[in-house]
Amino acid sequence: MPAGSRRLRAVPRRARPVLRGLRRIRDGIRLRSRFRGRRGIVAFLAVMGPGLIAGIAGNDAGGITTYSVAGARTGLSLLWAFPIMIVILAIVQEMVARLGVVTGQGLSDLIRERFGVRWTALAMVTLLVANLANTVAEFSGAAAALEIFGVPRWLTVPVVGVAIWALVVWASYRTVERVFLSVMVVFLAYIASAILARPDWAVVGRALVTPQLSFEPELLLLLVALVGTTITPYMQFYLQSAVAEKGIGEEELGLERADAIGGAIWTNVIAVFIVVATAVTIHATGATIETAGDAAMALAPVAGQLSTVLFAVGLFGASVLAATIMPISTAFVICEAFGWESGVGKRLADAPAFFSIYTFVLVGGALVVLLPGLDLLPLIVSSQNLQGLLLPIVLVFVVLLVNDERLMGRHRNGRVANVLAWAAVALVIALDAVLLGVSGLGLFGVRLG
């Protein structure tokens, strides 16, 4: 929990606007000292981090798998969705970063302060379900990666789960975070693979700007999964807390905006290359993705016979790291919302709620993957579908908060920003509504396409 959030909760609610104003002055003085003599790219490098990391976090096991399945099943026909998702994610990430900079508080803390306990409970249940689904995806990714080498999931999942739990409770999970950048090698390999596969870039360009919407429930599910894995509820809570904890002041708001928007662009660019690579190497040959080994074919142009090993290592690394961080961040955010004691360095007896939530998310995600008869890749895609369906709840909270003059002052949304923000929310809601409507009609044997 950011230190600023703890201090703010310790004062009466009516006095918080005054304290917030004093803190803005303090932050401005600190940042003027911190950035004195720094200009241009040097100042940006000092600020950047939260937005870029949030973007990288979107390319976890759920992202890699969903983008691979999309390219293998539909070729380039869903590429048009990514420019739209870049805009939506950039709008959302910018608002969240602005909230973090101006208020110095996490998103869950602001929701409780502004809307009360009942609405906070709704937001936290949404986050809990979404992150539990994401944890299922991460354990599925780890199991699918090692199944390539013949290791059964009933062995992989318990070993990984126990190791992660022990690491967090008795050691420091931050040591694992340091290897996160090494997973980016796999993302760069997708860029090289897409280029070496020599697609018709003119066709790729047309696919990016030519919408092709089908009312087939399977394709709609895949489209919602793409939105859910690219713009997750978890990313918004993480980004705002990271910005607040870093202590970025209003003077550097423009730089943090650039960081947030850059992260939105990064995650979608990588996604486009994954789709192109799988479309050219798998969809074009008439093959399908049934297992993680099939998905590894997309890296053949750059890794050859080592493509399977490269894919397995990347998927396993991304999965284990996200499975480590996801339950922890869930516990932190929920405890922050309700003022419960939290912290990895605390004893179990000192922070029972924190460790209970952490254990519930970790164990729940692992147990779902161990259920018999489940195919891992469809399970991962389904978890991202759930993300897409829950996303509008978080987005509405964000837009309402960023329009609160008491919180944001002169940094609240203007007219144009509100049009863009509500249009983004409406688009996601409309997509979810179409999916639910078409799926409902399908139950009665009515097919629209």
Residue 38 falls within a domain, yes or no? Answer: yes
How confident is the model over 22-72, as pLDDT tens digits?
454 445 444 444 544 445 555 555 556 677 777 776 677 888 889 999 999
Residue 195 falls within a domain, yes or no? Answer: yes
Residue 178 falls within a domain, yes or no? Answer: yes
With a CB cutoff of 8 Å and minimum separation 6, the contacts of 376 are 140, 141, 143, 144, 147, 153, 291, 292, 369
Q: How far apart are CA 54 and CA 325, in angstroms?
A: 12
Angle of helix 415-443 versus helix 376-402 axis, rounded to 10: 140
Quick one: tokens of 157?
């999942």
**pTM summary value:** 0.83
Helix (H) or strand (E) holding 138: helix 117-147
Give the CATH number of the domain where residue 169 resides.
1.20.1740.10
- Which residues in the chain come in under a pLDDT of 70? 1-49, 57-58, 169-186, 344-345, 439, 441-449
Cα distances from 195 to residues 24, 143, 185, 189, in angstroms, run 47, 29, 16, 10
Residue 379 falls within a domain, yes or no? Answer: yes
Quick one: tokens of 400?
């309402």
Residue 448 falls within a domain, yes or no? Answer: no
How confident is the model over 343-358, as pLDDT tens digits?
766 777 788 898 899 9
Residue 356 falls within a domain, yes or no? Answer: yes
Exposure class string for 183-204: b at 16+ Cβ within 10 A, else e: beebbebbbebbebbebeeeeb
What is the domain count for the chain?
Answer: 1
Cα distances from 152 to residues 143, 244, 423, 430, in angstroms, run 7, 42, 45, 40
Domain of 256, in residue numbers: 3-443
Residue 449 falls within a domain, yes or no? Answer: no
Q: How far apart are CA 265 and CA 212, in angstroms?
A: 22
Phi, psi at 287, each rounded to 5°: -80, 170
Residue 389 falls within a domain, yes or no? Answer: yes
